[in-house]
Structure formats: structure tokens, C-alpha cells
Amino acid sequence: MTNALLLACVAFVLMAPWGHSLVEALLKRGIGKRIREDEPDAHQVKQGTATMGGLYFLAGAIALAIALALGGHAQVLLVLLAMLLFGLLGAYDDLRGLKDVSGVGWLARFKFSWQWIVAIVVSLVMYWAWPEHRLILPISGRALELGWWFIPIAALLMVYEANAVNLTDGMDGLAGGAAAIAYLAYGVLCGFSGQDGLALFCFGFAGALCAFLWFNVHPARMFMGDVGSQSLGAGLAAAAMLSGHWLLLFVIGVVFLAEALSVMIQVSYFKYTKRKYGEGRRVFRMSPLHYHYELGGWSEVQVTLRFWIVTALAAALGIALGIG
């Protein structure tokens, strides 16, 4: 655990100086965020902020995973594989969004299809390359062998988490901070389980995320884009599956879960009421959930910090359940 903490600090120190150069490079190439018209008015001033900043921490993940693999922890390459492939999908979505004046990008039905294809491929590779296909039950610590069920569960979690983090990424620092806390939590769980390679990767990557947050907190100079949010979610799901503590993903990532559920509830209720009453009605002022609170009077910084607090408490609970 000492080495993992040191690695997190080293990753931050090595990466932080490069953020300013990346912001300038992205803006020089015209890679600026197009704010969707349906977002709150307060967000329209962010038009043109450098985006696709997820390339920043992906570069850190690549260097970290290669170093750990050379040190005998090859399993971290499986997490990197999930991050890179989902990152490619996100990059394609980002590039389409840059050309679309509305900022919408890739249509959801095409995006989901490719996400499932990539998730199944990654799950198959994980199943064949990693001998442990288990579920560690919270509190008791009892391990159950999943067998081939590992494949569909891993694929489902990667698709779910990639989209959940993507939906959370709507405020400066929100998704990045919550993800850093979640990776740290899984680093602790892996450390207690004797999975040193995964623990080192999770801590080191959290350090890289903190370097990104240096430029992403309000007022953000750089957004992660889909290339960042999708890779973050898929990597977190992959790490959870390999650790065996994947049930705790819904506890540790409770903010991501709440954001995804808010969208599902809002869309479903709107469609239902439109069919029944002829006009769509809403449960929330706006979804995802962070916009509901912003439109209710919380500032963007208040929403972000309070969601970080919830994530930290949920992560502590997840660790307690995992090592109990």
C-alpha cells in the first residue's frame, strides 16, 4: 500500500506539468467543446473550452500499465485494453460532435451497438487471459466461481459504467473527481486482496486523474470528452471484474448509478405521460441528476463538491463491505 500511495503521488507530479501544453495544443487544432442547446444557460459560456482532454490521462494509463506489465503485473494490460478500445469509441464520438453544430455527435443507437461489440471482445480476452472468474461476496468474503457467466457480466458492466460516467460528465470536475475516488477505493480493495498489480494501477491512475483535475475543476480549462468518460467507466468496470469485488461497483459508484437512473426515469416517465396524457411530464427539473440540483439553486461548484462527498462516503462503505 505504501508503494501504491507513492505511485499516485509520482504519477501526479510527472503529469501535471504537461496539462497546459495539451490545452494549448487542443485549442490550436480547433478541438473546442460545442455546448448542446438543451443544457442549462449557465453552461453556454463554456463554448470553445478545450475538449478530448481524456487523452491526457489515457497517456498516463498507457505508460503506467506498460511499466507495471514489465514489472510482472501483466493483468493491468486487460484494464488498459478496455480503456483504450472504449476510448477509441469516445474519440470518434467527440470528433463527430466537433463537426455537428448542435454538439450531439454519434447517434445513441449506433454508439450502443459498437459499445456492446467492444465490450464482448474485451470480456472474451479477459476470460481467456485471466484465470480468476469470481465474485467475492461483500462482508463474508466468500468467493463464487462465475465460469462463462463472467463474459456477459463483464460486458454489461463495461457498457453500463462507460455510459454512466459519460452522463455524469456534465460539470467541471464532477466525473473526474468521482472516478478518482472510485479508482482509489478499488486500489484499496485490490491491495487487501493481495492483487498488487491492480492496486498499483488503480492508485497510479488516480494520481494521473488528479493531474487532469488540476485543469478540469471549475472554471475548467479542459474537458475530458467522451474519449475520457467512456475509457474511465470501462476501465473501472474491468478493474472491478478482475478484482472480484464487482458487486461493490454499485456502492462505490453510487453517483454514477444515480446519474444513469435519473436519465432512465426521466425518459421513461416522459414517454409514458406523453402516450397517456398527450404531453410529456418530468420527474426531475432536468436530467442527468446534477442538472436537477443546479436548476434548483445549487451552484456548479456546490453540486460537484457534494457529489464528491457522497462518492467518498460510498467508497468508504464499499471498502468496509469488501474487507469486512
Q: What backbone phi and psi angles, to 5 degrees, belong to 114?
A: -70, -35
Dig out the grid coordinates for 96 from the structure.
463527430
Give percent above pLDDT 90 in the chain.
Answer: 83
- Three-state SS for the chain is CHHHHHHHHHHHHHHHHHHHHHHHHHHHCCCECCCCCCCCHHHHHHCCCECCCHHHHHHHHHHHHHHHHHCCCCCHHHHHHHHHHHHHHHHHHHHHHHHCCCCCCCCHHHHHHHHHHHHHHHHHHHHHHCCCCEEECCCCCCEEECHHHHHHHHHHHHHHHHHHHHHHCCCCCHHHHHHHHHHHHHHHHHHHCCCHHHHHHHHHHHHHHHHHHHHHCCCCCECCHHHHHHHHHHHHHHHHHHHCCHHHHHHHCHHHHHHHHHHHHHHHHHHHHHHHHCCCCCCCCCCCHHHHHHHCCCCHHHHHHHHHHHHHHHHHHHHHHHHC
Please check whether residue 186 is in contact with residue 239, taking contact to mean a CB–CB distance below 8 angstroms: yes
Determine the Cα–Cα distance for residues 82 and 119; give it in Å rounded to an integer: 8
DSSP single-letter state for residue 150: H
Whether the predicted pLDDT of 35 surpasses 90: no
- State residue 142's pLDDT score: 93
Residue 118 placed within a domain: yes
- State residue 38's pLDDT score: 62
Overall number of domains in the chain: 1
Residue 267 placed within a domain: no
Give percent above pLDDT 70 in the chain.
Answer: 96
- State residue 96's pLDDT score: 87
Q: How far is CA 271 from the centre of its chain?
A: 28
Mean pLDDT of the chain: 93
Whether the predicted pLDDT of 204 surpasses 60: yes
Burial class of 243 by CB neighbour count within 10 A (0 to 12, 13 to 18, 19+): buried
User: What Å distances lie between residue 165 and 37, 100, 180, 264, 280, CA to CA?
Assistant: 21, 22, 12, 14, 26
Whole-angstrom Cα Rg for the chain: 19
Determine the Cα–Cα distance for residues 5 and 109; give it in Å rounded to an integer: 41
Whether the predicted pLDDT of 104 surpasses 80: no
Residue 34 placed within a domain: yes
Determine the Cα–Cα distance for residues 254 and 260; give it in Å rounded to an integer: 10
- State residue 37's pLDDT score: 62
Whether the predicted pLDDT of 42 surpasses 90: no
Q: Residue 62: which residues within 8 A CB-CB, separation 6 or more? A: 80, 84
- State residue 324's pLDDT score: 74
Confidence of residue 44 (pLDDT cuts 50, 70, 90): confident
Confidence of residue 34 (pLDDT cuts 50, 70, 90): confident
- State residue 108's pLDDT score: 78
Residue 75 placed within a domain: yes
Confidence of residue 33 (pLDDT cuts 50, 70, 90): confident
Residue 258 placed within a domain: no
Residue 65 placed within a domain: yes
Burial class of 41 by CB neighbour count within 10 A (0 to 12, 13 to 18, 19+): exposed
Q: How far is CA 206 from the centre of its chain?
A: 12
Mean pLDDT score, 199-210 = 97
Mean pLDDT score, 107-117 = 89
Whether the predicted pLDDT of 206 surpasses 90: yes
The reported pTM is 0.94
Residue 205 placed within a domain: yes
41 lies in which domain range? 2-244
Residue 46 placed within a domain: yes
Over residues 226-258, the pLDDT tens digits come to 999 999 999 999 999 999 999 999 999 999 999
What pairing do the DSSP bridges indicate for beta strands 143-145 and 134-136?
Answer: antiparallel
- State residue 266's pLDDT score: 97
Mean pLDDT score, 26-39 = 78
Confidence of residue 39 (pLDDT cuts 50, 70, 90): low
Determine the Cα–Cα distance for residues 154 and 275; give it in Å rounded to an integer: 35
**Taking phi first (over 0 means left), then psi (-120 to 50 degrees means alpha), and beta for anything else, what does residue 30 get?**
left
Whether the predicted pLDDT of 137 surpasses 80: yes
- Tell me, what amino acid is at 120? I
Mean pLDDT score, 19-27 = 92
